[in-house]
Amino acid sequence: MVRFLICVLVIVMPLVCSGFQLAEDVEPLDPFLEVETEQAAFLQQNENMLRVELKSYFQQNRLKQQHPFNPSNEDIFVDAKQVNIMDFTVVSSWDNNWSMKIRQDLRYQNESVESNLANSDIEPNQSTLLEGLLRYKSDDNRLGIELGRNKPQWSTGISFDIANILQPQRSQPYIDVDSVTSYQGWDMISTQYIDEHWSIGGYIVESESPFLTGDRELVVRFAYQGDNSVSILLNQVEGADLTYAATWSRLLSDNIVFRSEWTLHDYRLSNSLNLEESKSYQRLMTGIAITFASGWSLFAEYLYNEHGASPAEWRELTLETMLAAQRLRMEQSNNLAQDFSLTFSGLDFINQGWLRKNYFSLLMRSQEVSDDWLWMFSLQSSLDDDSLLFRFETAKNLSDNLSIRFQGELFDGCELCEYGLNPNQSTMRMVFSWLF
């Protein structure tokens, strides 16, 4: 509780402090008298684009002494990680109507257990096609057709993007922005038609849902853009009933945005929890974003997640896994296969996000100025067990090409609480990015 309060204070503090700044008053000189017209810079903007980014990061994890789900007496969790990524994007247009986009990454990853990078498993030269699509748009820009690998995102949420129904479950509490695979799309054919404030879209997608066996899914989206922007999504996966989603956002004032999302599934987004009979599962996200005069922005969101474990389910699952891991560690297991299965499904379960029913997130971000430090403080709290994840991030562009970012995470909660179950007590990551 005290830690929660401290975290909230740390997040809100920059806003309070940003009001106290003094500086000399001098007559500003016109910079355009020195810097002559930048017409050449504007002319560089054309339809064809090649973007190449080399990103390299090192992450150090401070592990918990003994994780309750660890079936071994030795550490099994990664305590250091080094990743080098080359991210290529090519966009090419032939005329006003046809274009193509390809985004491919090349990764070299190095992970270690017990801080020994030399003995780690090395998986170099992994490569993934993140996006690869052929695009047609009509002369009046109303009709668009896309064929290939694509990643449409329909959510307006910051921490809880539940309306992105093609990616039903977060793999982590936060999207790992440095992992380019989080940008990997799905193979699909899609079309959209725009008519003034309205748009309608249809998507036929090769399904990759881990919760259903169907090969294909269909999404239809209706959207209205205005003071109240709303969208309705219908998702049909082979072998399941319709899934519904809706989004709503509204500008409450010149500096406050309200947003809300809702989804309804007839199946549970979890392989570890049982289906409840005749039950449909809802999610609701609601939140606001406030921009302050100092340039700082605050985002607050609440998530209700009916797919998450109830207190009884959580107790049963965590206790069973913990006892199975304990039996394996003490070599007292009577059924090795079952205990290993229980342990690994427990470990797999905690590797996902949104495991419980109620969440709250708070994020504070400084104004984005390309040559200045960007600051971000945030927390996500699982309200069902009072555990939380606090996150700190700062980034700066050192030049047009080079940028650095430092991030730290702190997991807090009881041993069998959601964020307390994370194998890390804290993590630190240093990221270097070179944009060619």
Residue number with CB closer to another protein (21 or 119): 21
E strand intervals along 254-329: 256-265, 281-291, 297-305
Which residues 6+ apart lie within 8 Å of 216 measured at CB? 204, 205, 206, 207, 237, 238
Helix (H) or strand (E) holding 346: helix 336-350
Residue number with CB closer to another protein (275 or 398): 398
3-state helix, strand and coil shares in percent for the chain, rounded to the nearest 5: 15, 45, 40
Decide if residue 183 touches another protein (CB under 8 A).
yes
Give which of 254, 277, 252, 257 is closest to 267, Cα–Cα: 277
Among 135, 307, 327, 356, binds another protein (CB under 8 A): 135
Residue number with CB closer to another protein (268 or 357): 357
Tokens standing for 166?
A: 């093609």
- By CB under 8 A, the count of residues binding another protein is 84
What one-letter code names the amino acid at 341? Answer: S
Subset of 298-357 contacting another protein (CB under 8 A): 298, 300, 302
What mask of x and - would describe binding to another protein in positions 399 to 418, judged by CB under 8 A?
-xx-x---------------
Subset of 281-300 contacting another protein (CB under 8 A): 289-291, 293, 295, 297-298, 300
How far is the C-alpha of 244 from the C-alpha of 225, rounded, in Å?
19
Tokens standing for 170?
A: 């977060």
Decide if residue 74 touches another protein (CB under 8 A).
no
What mask of x and - would describe binding to another protein in positions 239 to 258, judged by CB under 8 A?
----------x-xxxxxxx-
Decide if residue 95 touches another protein (CB under 8 A).
no
CB 298 within 8 A of CB 289: yes
What phi and psi values does residue 372 have, to the nearest 5 degrees?
-115, 170
Decide if residue 13 touches another protein (CB under 8 A).
no
User: Which residue in this structure is represented by tokens 């229980």?
Assistant: 342
State the virtual CA torsion across 417, 422, 425, 428 in degrees, nearest 10. Answer: -140
CB atoms within 10 A of CB 242: 13
* Choices 70-78, 207-215, 224-232, 316-324 (CB under 8 A): range interacting with another protein: 224-232
* Choices 17-25, 66-74, 236-244, 421-429 (CB under 8 A): range interacting with another protein: 17-25
Tokens standing for 363?
A: 């994020």
Residue number with CB closer to another protein (217 or 301): 301
Strand partners, 62: 426
Residue number with CB closer to another protein (275 or 369): 369
Residue number with CB closer to another protein (420 or 423): 420
Sign of the Cα torsion 303, 305, 309, 311 reads positive
Decide if residue 263 touches another protein (CB under 8 A).
no
Among 30, 74, 277, 331, binds another protein (CB under 8 A): 30
* Choices 104-112, 116-124, 318-326, 370-378 (CB under 8 A): range interacting with another protein: 370-378
Decide if residue 28 touches another protein (CB under 8 A).
yes
Q: How far is the CB of 204 from another protein (least distance, A)?
A: 18
Decide if residue 153 touches another protein (CB under 8 A).
yes
